[in-house]
Amino acid sequence: MKKSLGPSDRLYPMPCPLVLGGTMEKADALAVAWIAIGGATPPTIVMALRHSRRTLELIRETGEFTVNVPRASDAAVVDYFGIVSGHDHDKFAESGWTLEPASVVSAPLVAECPYNLECRVISEVDPGGTHVLVIGEIVESHADESILDANGKVDIEKLDPLVYIAGSREYRRLGEKVADAFSAGKSVKPE
């Protein structure tokens, strides 16, 4: 038996990166759980930002932003970026987290986040509600050497990314590997 829960804005689980707008001189970032890859060629990203966000203002000024994936152990700092606004706080000065230049876009990277995407805004879609959808092209990506495996690929155990659980409003880390994608299904699919 399933119970109807009504229209919902919850998907389980969600990522929770810091999205940053602005420049090395004037930057702001916020926690964003409503974010996803939007396509492969070109690689794109789509996120829902509430109209009032300070970071959205800065993204609009330059047309660029970065997506910075934090470690699970940094949940408290990420939460701080998600409960305080750049309208009345300098979040980098207060948290002690730092900026480093990106290589393609003017928006900097969050140095303490080991995986980063550089993005350029392609378009904004306003569904007419609380949030605007910002669609960006991912023009470069970076990984700290400490999270790479012997083949130079991101090792998810080393990255240990922060995960957000809506509803119960908690942060978690990923559990263990359960199967190989694009492969495990072959044992189920008829020949």
75-83, 107-115, 145-153, 179-187 -> range binding ligand FMN (CB under 6 A): 75-83
Q: Is 33 in the site for ligand FMN (CB under 6 A)?
A: yes
DSSP codes joined into one string, 120-176: EEEEEE--SSSEEEEEEEEEEEEE-GGGB-TTSSB-HHHH-B-EEETTTTEEE----
Choice between 169 and 186, CB closer to ligand FMN: 169
Q: Are 172 and 79 in contact (CB under 8 A)?
A: no
Strand partners, 115: 69, 143
Q: Is 79 in the site for ligand FMN (CB under 6 A)?
A: yes
67-75, 78-86, 120-128, 133-141 -> range binding ligand FMN (CB under 6 A): 78-86
* Total chain residues near ligand FMN (CB under 6 A): 21
Q: What is the DSSP letter of 185?
A: G
Separation of alpha carbons 191 and 186, rounded Å = 8
Q: Is 97 in the site for ligand FMN (CB under 6 A)?
A: no
The footprint of ligand FMN (CB under 6 A) covers 16, 28, 30-34, 48-50, 53-55, 79, 82-87, 164
